[in-house]
Amino acid sequence: MGLEAINLTKRFFDAKRGEFNAVQSVSFACHKGEIFGLLGPNGAGKTTTLRMITTILKPTSGTAKINDFDVTTNPRQVRKQLGFVSADTGLYERLTPREILTYFGKLSKYPKEKLTERIAEVTSMLQMESFLDSRCEKLSTGMKQKVSIARAIVHDPPVIIMDEPTTGLDVLTSQVLHRFILQCKEMNKCVVFSSHIMSEAEKLCDRMAIIHKGQVLASGTLEELRAESGMHYLEDIFLNVVKEDDIVEA
Amino acid sequence: MFDGLIERLQDIAVVANKELKHCFRDAHVLIYTVFVPLILYPISLVSLSEYTLWREGLAETRPVRLAYVKDGMERIPELVQVVKETKKIAVTESEDPIHDLEQNKLECVVDGSGAPEKINVMLNPSSDRFLETRVLMQSRSYDARALAMKNAVEKVAGANKVSKVFEIETHNVGTMGGRKASLQDMEITAFSTTIVLVAFYGYTMLIITVGAIYPALAAFTEEAEKKTKATTYLLPVERSTVVVGKFAAVTILTILSGLVNFLSMAFVALYFTAKLEWLKRALTLAMKQYSLENLLGVLLLFMLSTLLVASIYSLIASTAKSFKEAQNISSLVLITVTILPMVALLPGWTLDIRTAFIPILNMVLCAKAIVTDSVGGLEMTVACAESVAITATLLYLSQVIFWGKEPANANQDFSAANR
């Protein structure tokens, strides 16, 4: 049980390039109590992959399963099973964090009698108490990111997916977020996050996949990647894999 | 199945509740949906009437100064009598009236030396009271002419035979809307029809149309502009649930706007009836024209019109990618939606099987038919069914366009194209 991506492919059309594959046959799995990192430079296909997994985009071919629910055939059940945070998942500006959490909690069918308690638990975990009743339009970037995360997990989903969650955040807020991701692991959640910050992946991920030009070029635990490449630091391993791919293509 | 329906309705209620909160905190929505009908309408009408009354009062305390050219005064006794009875005119002695008129010491000089063939009324166009004096003297000359005519007829026929010439027979003068009616009935019918068309539909349609625009933009267009569409899409509910919930919120706010408008109208009506006795009498007579059934019928038409307007703006707001684009399209639609009720005022426009198919106009013509007791069952059914069908179609299109084939796919395509 957890998340499984099976040969996910997404083809787009654009006037200059014609049809092209933004994501090509991407496969990986993330189990309960595991943190999985999807690493790649900008435009590698991380966001498209995560959007397909979260049902926002339909795969051109391939599929993904969340707790055995297929994203192509049972998207509504899939959405119940996951929480997704990305730069595109904005907040309703004129609502307060408490109102947003209540809204998502209610529509996700979280038990009514426990919802208030759950909101208190989540906001305490993310240190949000001080701005829980301020309108979102008045919050800082870090505060907004916390609200986004709280919104994604208020219904206590077994799978949490984050698309570059620390981008644009200061060190302190990033630390809170890192602690939260580790807490999720302790709570036996399946966590997938994308990043281009290697130190973050090194610190948090149990396993990871390096994605470039829509394809997974390498995957495994940090130790496995080190053994395969003969390099110690993840940044070196990453650059080595990406460069090799560029040379092969040239 | 029943449980599923209840759950769906509950979800729609949750979405609508959220949208109402979100909309109500938007300054545009508050201004155009609540404050404009609540404040602007009464304020503008009340201040206009107060200004008119103030001017009337001013005219009495500072009457128009008039002088006669002496030689002709005895040739125009009726005008002299009428002017004498007018508080707004003060007759002044002048040795040289034309000179005094030039010097702005007078507003008007009357020369009756050429009467009855010709009476000269001279005004000074450079006077700040030129227009006021002109209107006043025009109305006084009509009165004088009527008085002269009455006096002339009396001389020939005798006083007791004259009254019938100046009175209108008010009994059994025909029918209106297929119903036997006296002239007085017809006047009341015409008056109440005008109230329904101008006050109720003309103004209310404008108000609910303006009132629907910003809630629709806040509920639909803002999702694209503020990048919350993907967030909304992650809700584990049917896509249609979200759109119907948003539409419900837009409709509620549009109805609210209409109701606030009715309250304002009631306030204005009360204000004017307290000030103007003739209006009180006319309104009292007009209200007798409305039975409970008529009022319920008009209310049903109001609801159908509101739903239609809300669905039109929901579609526009779903189509637009930005507030500016939505506002531009809305302006064009606003003109059409508010002009159609006015068309119903033109002579010859009644509810028939052809006009029953013209959206919005058919609703106004239905209302007109109700108050004139000329309702055709088939035409009314066609008009209402068509309105409901268009609303449902527009709502369906709103859903298709709002979500697109794949939400956020356009952004994705764009970013992919720029990689």
- CA–CA dist B382, B370 (Å, integer): 15
Shared domain for B211 and B250, answered yes or no, is yes
Residues of chain A with Cβ-Cβ distance to B412 below 8 Å are 12, 22, 47-48, 51, 57
Residues of chain B with Cβ-Cβ distance to A152 below 8 Å are 234
As a CATH number, domain A2-249 is 3.40.50.300
Q: What is the mean pLDDT of chain B?
A: 81
pLDDT, tens digit, for every residue of A50-69?
999 999 899 999 999 999 89
Chain B residue with CA closest to A59: the answer is B406
Shared domain for B146 and B200, answered yes or no, is no
- Domain positions in chain A: 2-249
Q: What is the gyration radius of the CA atoms in chain A, in angstroms? A: 18
Q: Is the peptide bond before B116 cis (omega within 30 degrees of 0)?
A: yes
How far apart, in Å, are the Cα atoms of B219 and each of A8, A66, B174, B224?
34, 31, 53, 10
Cβ neighbourhood burial of B24 (10 Å; 0-12, 13-18, 19+): middle
**Residue B285 CA, distance from chain mean position:** 20
Whole-number pLDDT of residue B407: 41
Q: Residue B37: inside a domain, yes or no?
A: yes
Q: What is the mean pLDDT of chain A?
A: 89
Contact at 8 Å (CB) between A146 and A127? Answer: yes
Can you give the CATH number for the domain in which B127 is found?
A: 3.40.190.10
Decide the pairing of beta strands A2-14 and A61-66: antiparallel
Shared domain for B331 and B271, answered yes or no, is yes
Calculate how close chain B gets to A163, using CA atoms only, in Å. Answer: 13
Beta bridge partners of B192: none
- B409 CB within 8 Å of a chain A CB: yes
CA angle B185, B191, B197 (to 5 degrees): 130
**Collapsed DSSP state (helix, strand, coil) of residue B68:** strand
Q: Residue B146: inside a domain, yes or no?
A: yes
Residues of chain B with Cβ-Cβ distance to A99 below 8 Å are 18, 21
Shared domain for B288 and B398, answered yes or no, is yes
Backbone angles phi, psi at A28, to 5 degrees: -165, 170
Shared domain for B294 and B414, answered yes or no, is yes
Residue type, B137: M
- A54 CB within 8 Å of a chain B CB: yes
Q: Residue B300: inside a domain, yes or no?
A: yes
Decide the pairing of beta strands A34-39 and B179-180: unpaired
Question: Could A57 and B231 be called an inter-chain contact, meaning their C-beta atoms sit closer than 8 Å?
Answer: no
Structure tokens at B389: 């069908």
- CA–CA dist B364, B298 (Å, integer): 9
Chain A residue with CA closest to B11: the answer is A107
Residue type, A4: E
Q: Residue B165: inside a domain, yes or no?
A: no
Whole-number pLDDT of residue A97: 96
Contact at 8 Å (CB) between B186 and B180? Answer: no
Q: How many CB pairs under 8 A join A and B?
A: 93
Contact at 8 Å (CB) between B371 and B196? Answer: yes
For residue B205, give the nearest of B357, B344, B28, B72 by alpha carbon: B344
- B9 CB within 8 Å of a chain A CB: no
Shared domain for B21 and B68, answered yes or no, is no
Q: Residue B140: inside a domain, yes or no?
A: yes
Q: Which of residues 377-406 of B touch A (CB under 8 A)?
A: 406
- CA–CA dist B18, B37 (Å, integer): 24
Query: Computed from CA positions of residues B319, B309, B27, B232, in that sequence, does the dihedral angle turn out positive or negative?
Result: negative
Shared domain for B25 and B145, answered yes or no, is no
Whole-number pLDDT of residue B288: 67
Q: What is the gyration radius of the CA atoms in chain B, in angstroms? A: 30
Structure tokens at B347: 């002579």
Structure tokens at B333: 């639609």
DSSP state of A72: T
CA atoms within 13 A on the CB side of A83: 23
Structure tokens at B212: 């629907």
Whole-number pLDDT of residue A173: 83
Whole-number pLDDT of residue B191: 64
pTM here is 0.77
Whole-number pLDDT of residue B204: 73
- CA–CA dist B160, A190 (Å, integer): 106
Calculate how close chain B gets to A76, using CA atoms only, in Å. Answer: 5
Shared domain for B265 and B372, answered yes or no, is yes
Q: Residue B5: inside a domain, yes or no?
A: no
Shared domain for B267 and B368, answered yes or no, is yes
Whole-number pLDDT of residue A147: 94
Low-confidence ranges of chain B (pLDDT < 50): 167-180, 407-419
pLDDT, tens digit, for every residue of A190-245?
999 998 888 888 889 999 999 998 999 998 998 998 888 888 888 888 888 887 66
pLDDT, tens digit, for every residue of A123-172?
998 889 999 999 999 999 889 989 999 999 999 999 999 998 888 788 88
For residue B17, give the nearest of B306, B253, B212 by alpha carbon: B253
For residue B218, give the nearest of A94, A97, A105, A88 by alpha carbon: A94
Beta bridge partners of B345: none
pLDDT, tens digit, for every residue of B181-202?
555 555 655 666 666 566 666 6
For residue B364, give the nearest of B308, B310, B313, B312 by alpha carbon: B308
Shared domain for B275 and B394, answered yes or no, is yes
How far apart, in Å, are the Cα atoms of A94 and each of A135, B226, B232, B248?
6, 11, 15, 19
Calculate how close chain A gets to B222, using CA atoms only, in Å. Answer: 9
Shared domain for B144 and B223, answered yes or no, is no
Whole-number pLDDT of residue B61: 79
Calculate how close chain A gets to B266, using CA atoms only, in Å. Answer: 33
Question: Could B412 and A48 be called an inter-chain contact, meaning their C-beta atoms sit closer than 8 Å?
Answer: yes
For residue B230, give the nearest of A92, A140, A64 by alpha carbon: A92
Calculate how close chain B gets to A12, using CA atoms only, in Å. Answer: 6
- A91 CB within 8 Å of a chain B CB: yes
Neighbours of A170 (CB within 10 A): 11
* Residue whose tokens read 């919802």: A115
Question: Could B412 and A51 be called an inter-chain contact, meaning their C-beta atoms sit closer than 8 Å?
Answer: yes
Domain that holds residue B103: 62-158
* Residue whose tokens read 């005895």: B74
Domain count, chain B: 2
Shared domain for B38 and B101, answered yes or no, is no
